[in-house]
Structure 1
Amino acid sequence: MAEKRILIVDDEPNTRKGLAKMLEVWSAGRYQILQAENGQEAREIIEKDKIHLLITDIRMPEITGLMLVESLKNAGKDLVVIIISSYSEFKYAQEAIQLGVKNYLLKPLNRQKLIEAVEQALVDEERIERNGVIEKVIDEHLFHIEVKNDQTRLPIKEACQYINEHLNEPLSLRNVSQSVHLNSSYFSFLFKEQMNVTFSEYVTRKRLQAAKKLLMCTDLQIADISAAVGYKTDKYFIKLFKEHEGLTPSKYRKNV
């Protein structure tokens, strides 16, 4: 069964079934096409399954399309949405835009325009999902440190580059300071002064960020990920990961 889902919400059975048939032919099994006859049924489906694109009629009894979109937004479910309507009044389009609706199509629907709107909406959904993944991986503290790194002097910039290129290898204060031709003590002082974080904390944060990417984007075993980011034992890696992230690498992978 296709993992991506498109939900069509319309109280008119013929319109709803016609749209579903149109998208099923276009999809050719790439997407699961779901249907709901009203806003309440749509909410129940969205609570149960992840929906990648919502296509909803604007005029429906009790819960209108715009009310449905607004309630989902208030609940933190910021879906990619296409509104379909028999009404072309500007106030509806204006409200839809304010709610972040991707497209507003008028009935009777033109097949080509519908498919184009759906394809563009799914491209937008992929981009949003990718950005969501990036946000989950990024260490905000590390991000701000590295923004500041743009103003640091050359030896520390070179040290950070060396660390990034050798994360899977032993990284001691001694060998990194030697790579930039500085005394260890002076290098440690300079690093903390310019980066506002100790050398060891920086290395740990870089390794754990790299580990999070591997946990999310690969099927590698925890032991392999541990080795890939420079830890000799997965036991120590798991302990460190839990201290920083609040959960084990396995639970992190499952949750995100």
Structure 2
Amino acid sequence: MSMVNKTILVVDDEPRTRQGIKQTLEQWAAGRYTVETAENGVEARERLLTERVNLLITDVRMPVVSGLDLIRSLAGAQRKPVVIVISGYAEFTYVQQALQLGAFNYLLKPLDKAELLQVAEEALKHEEEEQRREKMVKLADRKLLEIDPDEPVMGEAVREALAYVAGHMSEPLTMAEVAARLHLNASYFSVLFKEQTGVPFSEYVTRLRLQRAKELLVKSRLSIGEIGESIGYRTDKYFIRVFKEHEGISPSRYRQQITGNADNTQ
């Protein structure tokens, strides 16, 4: 994920501290990030409600709305910034409360520039990982998540079928072939599989293939054709058609929407 256009918001009621942090971060960022400031918690809270902030650096003690109040106000936010709190040695109990509320790290006054930059970089990497995890959760197929091979209802034959399919996705995988490998009648296997998994065999294979495709579209730079071939579709044209039928958009468009990167590989 690109680190361009990320926003850092610095909140401190001391102008000298606030501007010093802003200047240090801007020199380090060299245009990679936008560094903004707020002189109190009230202003910061309003901005957090209307603007996308990736990293919040806030003094822990401020009049009216403290850093702790600011962190608490983020509780119901859909997309929370990662938070670094600033405090003096005498305020460490506030730091402990901030960490309990989900702050990523803290900095003690007087601030050390090298430490500030190191912690800021770690926090931004953490925020990036959190976004990536959130996106991967959104990729998950709910139907597939409901299928648990360890459930008591799952018989040995279906467990073996699930394991075989997972390990041979790049192959044709017909129901007749899998049933034969399990020494079962195809019709009987079809009924058994649907009873125990809740989905027909062919639908399960398609869902699993598309789940894997979505993961590869996000995590890899493989071309659309390479991804399709790796999950059992012999032509990229057929893969694109199946993907569109189930997801409503093409694989390349899906990749662009999730990652924010244009894809020129089909």
Distance in structure 1 (CA, Å) of the matches to 2:103 and 2:54: 13
Q: Shift of residue 32 of structure 1?
A: 1.4
Deviation (angstroms), 1:174: 1.0
- Give the superposition deviation at 1:248: 6.2
AA aligned to 2:215 is K
Distance in 1, Cα, partners of 2:209 & 2:19 = 51
Amino acid at match of 1:132: E
8 A Cα contact 2:22 2:37, kept in partner:
no
Q: Gapped runs of 5+ residues in structure 1? A: none
Q: Hey, what does 1:44 align to over in structure 2?
A: 47
Give the alignment partner of residue 67 of structure 1, picking from 66, 69, 72: 69
1:34 alignment counterpart: 35
> Does structure 1 retain, via aligned residues, the 8 Å contact 2:11–2:58?
yes
SS of the residue aligned with 2:78?
coil
Paired residues for 1:62-211 under 5 Å? 62-86=64-88, 88-89=90-91, 92-148=94-150, 152-211=154-213
SS, match of residue 58 in structure 2 = strand
2:10·2:35 contact (CA, 8 Å) conserved in 1?
Answer: yes
Aligned partner of 2:246 in structure 1 is: 240
How far has the Cα of 1:107 moved from its partner?
1.7
**Distance (whole Å) between structure 1 residues aligned to residue 224 and residue 74 of structure 2:** 36
CA drift of 1:128 comes to 2.0
Q: Measure, in 1, the Cα distance between the counterparts of 2:45 and 2:105.
A: 19
CA–CA distance in structure 2, aligned partners of residues 155 and 135 of structure 1: 29
Identity of aligned residues (%): 42
Conserved 8 A contact 2:72-2:101: yes
Secondary structure, in 3 states, of the residue corresponding to 1:207? helix
Corresponding residue number in structure 2 for 1:217: 219
Shift of the alpha carbon at 1:197? 2.9
Aligned to 2:264: none
Listed one character per residue, the Cα deviations across residues 3-50 of structure 1 (whole Å, up to 9, x for unaligned) are: 14433222333212322333345x46484151212343575377444x
How many corresponding residue pairs? 250
Change (3 A) 1:64 1:152: same
- 2:59 paired residue among 57, 60, 65: 57
Secondary structure, counterpart of 1:88 in structure 2: helix
Q: CA deviation at 1:206?
A: 0.5
Moved more, 119-128 or 207-216: 119-128
RMSD: 3.5
Q: Counterparts of 1:208 and 1:18 in 2: how far apart (Å)?
A: 50
Distance 1:225 1:199 in 2: 22
TM score, norm. by length of structure 2: 0.74
Kindly tell me: are residues 122 and 145 of structure 1, through their superposed partners in 2, closer, same or farther at Cα, counting changes over 3 Å? same
Secondary structure in structure 1 of the residue aligned to 2:180: helix
Structure with a larger share of its residues in helix: 1
Per-residue deviation at 1:183?
1.9
1:220 CA drift (Å): 6.0
> In the TM superposition, what is the alpha-carbon distance from 1:98 to its structure 2 partner?
3.6
Distance 1:73 1:122 in 2: 19
Would the alpha carbon gap of residues 252 and 63 (structure 1) be closer, same or farther in structure 2, given more than 3 Å must change?
farther
TM-score by length of 1: 0.76
SS at match of 1:155: helix
